[in-house]
Structure 1
Amino acid sequence: MSIHFVGIDPETDEDGCPTVWVDTDTADLLIQSYQADTQTTATCDGLSPARVPIPPGETVIRIPARMAPIIRKALDELDPGVR
């Protein structure tokens, strides 16, 4: 497993720290962020094309929009054409 830190929410405080890593072996993004509230989760669940409830072991997370550059950086790091 080869996990690399990419970035952290630029507005991180002591109460939360949305963070992004990449696993270059699997080309997966690893994201720590805020768990969506019940209403948001239910709405996403209802809009899912899978038409089944969100299964155990999965959840809806909310990533602050200000982290978009960090997500792009992570995707670029995983793109073989960019490396």
Structure 2
Amino acid sequence: GLVIRLKLKVDAFLGSALIDMYCKCGIIERAFMVFKTVSEKDVTLWTTMITGFAFHGNGKQALQLFEEMQEEGVTPNK
């Protein structure tokens, strides 16, 4: 909420924490909203959002986001 409402700049570190929190609370839409606001996405941010989609049964969205991550040149962790 507050970070988004105040339109504060969200970096990858804060974004990952917010996405993780929203996913754990089952608020996937809000998690994805945060994801979209982060301009410089690192592998942790991508992975957190992909995992959130997958954990909540949104496998198709998780795979689409994984493909988008690869198109953006971000390499998954090993």
Normalized against structure 2, the TM-score is what? Answer: 0.33
Q: Which structure has the larger Rg over C-alpha atoms?
A: 1
